[in-house]
Amino acid sequence: MRDFLVGTAGHIDHGKTTLLKALTGIDADRLEEEKRRGITIDIGFAHMSLGSCRIGFVDVPGHERLVKNMLAGIGGIDLALLIVAADESIMPQTREHFHICRLLDIPGGIVVLTKCDSVEPELLNLVREEIRAMTRGSFLENSPVIAVDSISGSGLDRLKQALLEQARGSDRNRGFRQERVIRLPVDRVFTKRGFGTVVTGTLTSGIIGEGDAVAVYPSGKRGKVRRVEIFNREASKAVAGQRTALNLSGLGKDDLNRGMVLSRPGGLRPTRSLDASIRVLTDAPRPLKRRTPVRLHHGSGEWQGRVYPLEGKVVAPGRRAMVQLRLERPAMCWIGDRFILRMDSPPVTVGGGVVLDDLPPRHRVRNLPGELSALKAFHSGLEAGNRDPDRIRIEFLVRSKGKPGIDIGELAARTGSPRRRLLGHLQEHPDIELVPREPPLAVPRAALRKLEDSMLSYLDDFHSRNRLAAGVSREELRNRFLRSSSSDYFQFLLRRLERRGLIRIDRSLVMRGGWEPLLNPAQEAVRRSVLDALRRSFPRPPTLTELKRRLHHPPSRTEEVCFFLVQQGDLVRVGGEFVLTPSQIDRLRNELKTQFPPGQSFSVPEFKDSLGISRKYAIPFLEHLDREGVTRRQGDGRVVL
């Protein structure tokens, strides 16, 4: 059976609830106060079957003070029923609800004229003309205008037929919505004896079933689905587009409120800042300036925040513009979501828009032109609707992240697309490189090339300034270019460059491919002097400080040559101030084993006497042999291993 969700809209006392009762036999006013006062205060629900379609209705209050309740129920619907009483025609909340439906990009609608039996045909025709004038150029421009009377029942059959035609012809990307991550904005929370906590809402995306793990956002508290109901009947699962009730375990009534969102664990990223394209209504009472306080309505919730225009200082009535919205508490938005903006004083709807970046930076003046250009191009792609929306979102997010990249988990949480769908797009995309790690990391190929070029230029410059240095340490290179990124990403980058022969890696050092440090004649003379001095003085070598003082070469040159010889493995550091050749280290090792067989312990004085050296040399030599695993310290002595 095909499910179709319809929301009412219109001024107070224009017969919305009465019409639904005439259509379905269900009174959507469930509160005692609503029945006593005869007005709808909170959202209510009804449903009916028409042919092969099951139609759910969300009834909303029409009073101007209850628009926030209307907004809690209108999101996620497939069709709007704009209801106008024939005896009053268009009223303030008729216009406001109509604007809200427009701003939320409701895909279709039907205009219903109620109380038609109480007016003359001439007045009815006049109301029709007023409606046509108001809806010209909107999603309702070519929609049917159906006259009904809920008391006598006249016109109801025609309305049912129009609803059935709309339901059968509607698609609204149902398959795409069902593939996405679970998202259910909560509009009611209550406890039911024998069951526990129950939440209701319109499942805007995904498929949810019994036993599924869920998390409530923004708190992140986790629970499990114990039972699923759709249209007041138990079901094994609910799919996107259905009114859904979930019986939850592990979550209490106090853990949930209207405006919170249920999703899978890790499925959403709460945010307190949004970049968006907004449209301010022509009849807005005043322009939106920097730090203008507003209420953002999204899903079933509302958030206080402030507007920061990104194009100029104000957004005038009737204009569209890019803005940043900063909220007082976290909201749960995906890129591409629609929202409504209202003011507190006067309490009116001033506009609405679409989320373009759910985790934007604080824009700096020098970066703003480029960031604005990217936002506008992205918005144009979304509005055009001629490409896969997932692909457009992925391209924008990957490009905006630049060289640090963005991992699959963050992409899923910010777009609502499942991991397998994202991987498919990323693997096929010619301008995106997928770094093989867990989770995989997506990086723009242009940013990767720029990063590689920067690293290679740095190595070239390093080699030109340090002719004797074998290379740059991995750690220094990572800190300079990818300090905040994972080691997996850095290793991937090094392997790419090494495979192409552009760099060479030797243990902890990175150097340009083909680079070989060479000594000039003056440095070669120092090398010979150093090695000769060490050969003649063994086993009582001079310290580095003594070498620089004794040799007839500039001290700095002696120091750089010694450092070079250590890097090349021609010298070995022994302690802080001594260096020996590898062959001298071998002589030490052999001498020790000759004097003290394996397993035999010896003291420092015995070692000194065996080599004829002082403690100045014996302690550094023994500590080096300890590190090499030749000896092991035992109390004040050593044992040969």
Mean pLDDT of 201-220: 95
End-to-end CA distance of the chain: give it in Å, rounded.
81
Model pLDDT for residues 433-463, shown as the tens digit of each residue: 999 988 999 999 999 999 999 999 999 999 9
Q: Are 309 and 332 in contact (CB under 8 A)?
A: no
Q: Are 237 and 191 in contact (CB under 8 A)?
A: no
Two tokens, residue 382: 């979304």
Strands (E), 86-183: 109-114, 145-147
Confidence grade of residue 193 (pLDDT, cut at 50, 70, 90) = confident
pLDDT for the residue 35 = 65
Instruction: Say what the pTM is.
Output: 0.81
Cα separation, 622 vs 618, whole angstroms:
6
User: Any idea which residue has 């144009």 for tokens?
Assistant: 380
Higher pLDDT, 194 or 264: 264
Two tokens, residue 550: 């004794």
Confidence grade of residue 390 (pLDDT, cut at 50, 70, 90) = confident
Cα separation, 24 vs 1, whole angstroms:
18
pLDDT at 387 over 80: no
Model pLDDT for residues 100-114, shown as the tens digit of each residue: 999 999 989 999 999
Model pLDDT for residues 220-237, shown as the tens digit of each residue: 999 999 999 998 889 999
Structural domains in the chain, CATH included, are: 2-172 (3.40.50.300), 175-263 (2.40.30.10), 273-371 (2.40.30.10), 400-517 (1.10.10.10), 521-640 (1.10.10.10)
Cα angle: 629, vertex 630, 632; to 5 degrees: 75
Q: What is the three-state SS of 562-618?
A: HHHHHHHCCCEEECCCEEECHHHHHHHHHHHHHHCCCCCEEEHHHHHHHHCCCHHHH
pLDDT for the residue 566 = 85
pLDDT for the residue 174 = 66
Model pLDDT for residues 73-127, shown as the tens digit of each residue: 787 888 999 999 999 999 999 999 999 999 999 989 999 999 998 889 899 999 9
* Helix (H) / strand (E) containing 306: strand 301-309
Model pLDDT for residues 413-429, shown as the tens digit of each residue: 999 988 888 999 999 99
Mean confidence (pLDDT) of the chain? 90
DSSP string, 217-275: ETTTEEEEEEEEEETTEEESEEETTSEEEEEEES--GGG--TT-EEESTT----EEEEE
In 344-444, alpha helices (H)? 368-384, 389-401, 408-415, 419-428
Model pLDDT for residues 242-257, shown as the tens digit of each residue: 999 999 999 999 999 9
Confidence grade of residue 568 (pLDDT, cut at 50, 70, 90) = confident
Q: Are 201 and 166 in contact (CB under 8 A)?
A: no
SS3 call for 376: helix
User: Any idea which residue has 């306080």 for tokens?
Assistant: 293
Model pLDDT for residues 486-539, shown as the tens digit of each residue: 899 999 999 999 999 999 998 888 999 988 777 888 888 988 999 999 999 999
SS3 call for 69: helix
pLDDT for the residue 493 = 95
Higher pLDDT, 178 or 303: 303
Higher pLDDT, 608 or 305: 305
pLDDT for the residue 229 = 94
Strands (E), 455-570: 472-473, 503-506, 509-512
Residue type, 356: L
pLDDT at 172 over 60: no
